Structure 1
């Protein structure tokens, strides 16, 4: 537990800019980890302080020199201290996250959205999906907050989307976001252990960001990640317990020209090791990110024996 003494700070700091600079310095001094939406201490300081002041982040430059009231100062110092002492990701302190340029409610029942798949959704999965032949049915497997399903609904407004997860807690959060975005008729939350809740259903696109962190990485995660639901991160010694099931069963849930998009992060090395014969198409991202592959239904069928042997 970090001991902090902010007792004299109220008199020394006055403007929004003063508090952002102070917060960023304190965050860096505390050696916090920034991997839940913000890239650095400065951006996270802006996010937390503007949230506390009930102002949109894009107004920061306009209010940089504005003085804070005594109550505002105390509120800002409180959230700064909470971020440092408890090492809680900023998204959980604000209950806000952005994914694919869309706002989402988040709390500690779900992972903070940060998947590079968001970039694919913004591009409507081009060139893998033709604009002339958009998906009619989409499955978001291991939906968590529902961010992938909801972003897909914006990208493909005529598609029906199932958002499945084993966790009822996660589905409750997903439903909050589905309702907030007015998508209750398009995005359907379903409790499902991988494909168990959608038996017999067929989709043109399966997108999944399943738990995939291997045990070595779980054991070395920064403190911030320990506030996230454990079942959303680790998944066996090599991180592939669920990925194996997805690879073995996806083909039967895909339409003739359907594709699977799956994120495995650092466990890409394990995927390549376990399935050396399979020509995974590893995708690249302009904004950073790795460990996302694509397979077609035909490829999943071609190597189905290998996939089923490894479950």
Structure 2
């Protein structure tokens, strides 16, 4: 990949070049930002160790030779090697919270950022959430968001991958929630001590295997274990719902993020009442199931 470094003398020059390069090389977005301008600006500021809220005048400053080399290295990896931005910076943001991430986990992103603050509205009025769990926790980001949202709750984070749990432990430490958040290596609830939860939340692997076989390069960098939901995408969801019947309080809720699987779920469980939660972008890809409705999936 050719970089006209003699012409890229300021951060603004790099931003303009990057936007064009993203389009020419058909880079895939969605892991950190949904547009080339925002992702490239983020990469520039992080690479130069500048605050993300830097004033506009910073973009006009002349860069040193060392800074030019750092930007050259980063954008070579992003554009030529198609490495996701989150892996280049080793971080991802969900709202006001920053999380460490690397190639051991998928880059944190979830509609639960906007939905977790609404979950109390689906529980009995006045209930204090005391037990919550994030199944397939990956980086631990959603378990940590649960801990922040429900300060009286004991939270479990479950994942099958020991590599993912190493990353989750970094984030648990960085967010200082280790006194209330316990990580478990387990295939769904298989190895987790029995406890009944007010909230069971999961953003599980839900992509059908044939889609995982043909992912764009950026998403192919992520661990397949965290993406592949089996032939129809429902393998982990089936197991989770079966086990949830013994793990959920009668008043409790199961909340799942399932991508484009709504038709598949409604075919699989035609009698199960699922409330599809509205999201700001209209994707409405998260469903809520009440504890007293789970019995309909037996058999």
Do they fold alike, i.e. is TM over 0.5? yes
The correspondence of residues 205-284 of structure 1 with structure 2, limited to 5 A, is 205-284=199-278
Q: 2:196 aligns with which of 188, 192, 202?
A: 202
**Structure 2 unmatched ranges of 5 or more:** none
Matches within 5 A, 1:89-100: 89-100=84-95
When normalised by structure 2's length, the TM-score is 0.96
* Aligned twin of 1:45: 40
Query: Do structure 1's residue 28 and structure 2's residue 23 form an aligned pair?
Result: yes
RMSD: 1.5
Aligned partners of 2:31 and 2:107 also within 8 Å: yes
- 1:104 pairs with 71, 76, 99, which one? 99
Unaligned stretches of 5+ in structure 1?
none
Aligned to 1:66: 61
Aligned residues: 299
CA displacement 1:213-267 (0-9 Å, x = unmatched): 0123223321111111101001211010110011111021011211100111112
| 1:68-106 alpha-carbon deviations (Å, 9 max, x no partner) | 112111211211111011111100010010124310000
2: CA distance between counterparts of 1:53 and 1:60? 14
Q: Is the 8 A contact 2:272 2:294 kept in 1?
A: no
SS in 1 for 2:6: helix
Report the TM-score, using the length of structure 1 for normalisation: 0.92
CA apart distance, 1:276: 1.8
Whether 2:160 is the aligned partner of 1:166: answer: yes
What is the rounded CA distance, in whole Å, between the counterparts of 2:32 and 2:122 in structure 1?
Answer: 27
- Alpha-carbon distance between aligned partners in 1 of 2:291 and 2:133, rounded to the nearest angstrom: 14
Counterpart in the other structure of 2:280:
286
Query: Residues of 2 paired with 1:199 and 1:288: CA distance?
Result: 37
* 8 A Cα contact 2:207 2:229, kept in partner: yes
SS in 2 for 1:57: coil
Distance 2:265 2:199 in 1: 21
Following TM superposition, where does structure 1 have runs of at least 4 consecutive aligned residues deviating by more than 4 angstroms? none
